[in-house]
Structure 1
Amino acid sequence: MEHVEHGFGPVWDAASRVLVLGSMPSPKSREAGFYYMHRQNRFWPVMAALFADPADPNDVPGDSPDSRRAFALRHHVALWDVIASCDIVGASDSSIRNAMPNDLTPILRGSRVTRVFTTGAKAGQLYRRLIEPGLSAAGCAVPMIQLPSTSPANASMRLPRLIDVYREAFEDAGILRTT
C-alpha cells in the first residue's frame, strides 16, 4: 500500500461540455503526467473512434500528453479524476483506501459541462459518496453516468463494445450527433 497524490491537474476550458472522471491515475499515467497513458488502456482508442474526423488526418489523439490534451479540448471533453490522494496498491481500484476527493466545483462553474461520466465502477462509487453530496450542497450538481472502465483489467469488455457504450452516452449527452 502506497500513499499517492494525484500529481497533475484537470484538463478543461470554458467550452468543455462533458467531464470524464477516472478514479486515480495509474502508475504509468502518473509517470507520464497525463490521463490514460498505459499503452493497453483503451480510453484514447475509444475517443478516437468517437471524435476523430476521418477527413482530417491531424484530428487524432496522438501519443503525447500535449496532443491528447488538445484532442480532448477540441472535442469539448474535460478530464480529471475523482481522487486527489489515496492509499493504493499499484493501479488496483479495489485496493483504494483513505480517498480524498478533488473539488469539481471550479470546472462545473467555469465551463459548459452538463454531464459527468465516470470510467469504471470504483470511480462511480467514489463520485457518489465523496463528490456528489458536496456538489448538490453547492448548487452545481450535474447528472453522472457510470461508464465501463477502459482499463486492460476490464478484459471482458472488448473495444467495439466499449466504443458502442461510450458512443451512446456521448450521444445522449448531446456531445455527438446521433448516427
Structure 2
Amino acid sequence: MGNRLVHPVSPVYNSESKILILGTFPSVKSREGEFFYHHPQNRFWKVISVVCNEKLPETIDEKKSLLLRNHIALWDVVQSCEIEGSADSTIKNVVPNDISPILKEADIQKIYANGNMAYTLYKKYLYDRVGRDIIKLPSTSPANASFSLERLIEIWSCIRDY
C-alpha cells in the first residue's frame, strides 16, 4: 500500500452535544463527498433519521442540523492511515484523531462506535488517552448485510436516551 490518507472531514459537534458516535475512517465515497456516510448504500442517515424521528436529510447542511438538533456529535477514530479502497479490514499504520476537544467542549454522556472496527480501534488507540468507555453498535455499512435496516434501527434506538 504505502499510500497514507488523511481524514478530510471535520467533526460535527457543539456544546450541546450529549453523545459522540465514532466511525473508523471515511469510505472512498465519503472522501469524495467530503462528509460522513456519503455512500448511498450506507444506512447511517436512514437509521439516525428514524431513531430521531426526523425526515431523512439530503444535504450536508441538513445532516449537520439533524445531528446538532439531536445533541449528536460525529467523527471518526482514525485521523490518517493506509487503507485499500473503503475496507476497514485493510486499515493499517493508524494515527488516531484527538477527540479531547469534543470531550472538553461538549457534555458527552456516552460514546458509541459505529461497528466493530471503530470499537476495536478506539480501544487500541484512544481509550487509554481519554479513559472513557465506548458502546459498540452494529455497523451501518452495506458490508454488514447480516443486519437489516429494521434491526439496525431497533439496536441503535438506545442513543435516544441522550
Same fold (TM over 0.5): yes
1:3-152 superposed matches below 5 A = 3-52=4-53, 59-136=54-131, 141=132, 143-152=133-142
Q: Structure 1: which 4+ aligned runs deviate by more than 4 Å?
A: none
The separation in 2 between residues aligned to 1:72 and 1:152, in whole angstroms, is 21
Which structure has the larger Rg? Answer: 1
The separation in 2 between residues aligned to 1:34 and 1:61, in whole angstroms, is 16
The separation in 2 between residues aligned to 1:66 and 1:155, in whole angstroms, is 28
Per the TM alignment, residue 60 of structure 1 is displaced from its structure 2 partner at its CA by 2.4
Residue aligned with 2:129, SS:
helix
Asked if the contact 1:61/1:71 (under 8 Å) is kept, the reply is no
Deviations 1:61-91 (A, max 9, x none): 4211111001100100000000000000011
Q: Give the match for residue 148 of structure 2.
A: 158
The letter of the residue matching 1:148 is P
Structure 2, unaligned runs of 5 or more: none
Per the TM alignment, residue 12 of structure 1 is displaced from its structure 2 partner at its CA by 0.1
Structure 1, unaligned runs of 5 or more: 53-58
The separation in 2 between residues aligned to 1:117 and 1:70, in whole angstroms, is 19
User: What value does the CA root-mean-square deviation take over the aligned residues?
Assistant: 1.0
Tell me the number of residue pairs that the alignment of Structure 1 and Structure 2 aligns: 161
The letter of the residue matching 1:114 is Q
- % same residue: 40
Asked if the contact 2:22/2:77 (under 8 Å) is kept, the reply is yes
TM-score w.r.t. the length of structure 1 is: 0.87
The separation in 2 between residues aligned to 1:124 and 1:170, in whole angstroms, is 16
The separation in 1 between residues aligned to 2:34 and 2:59, in whole angstroms, is 10
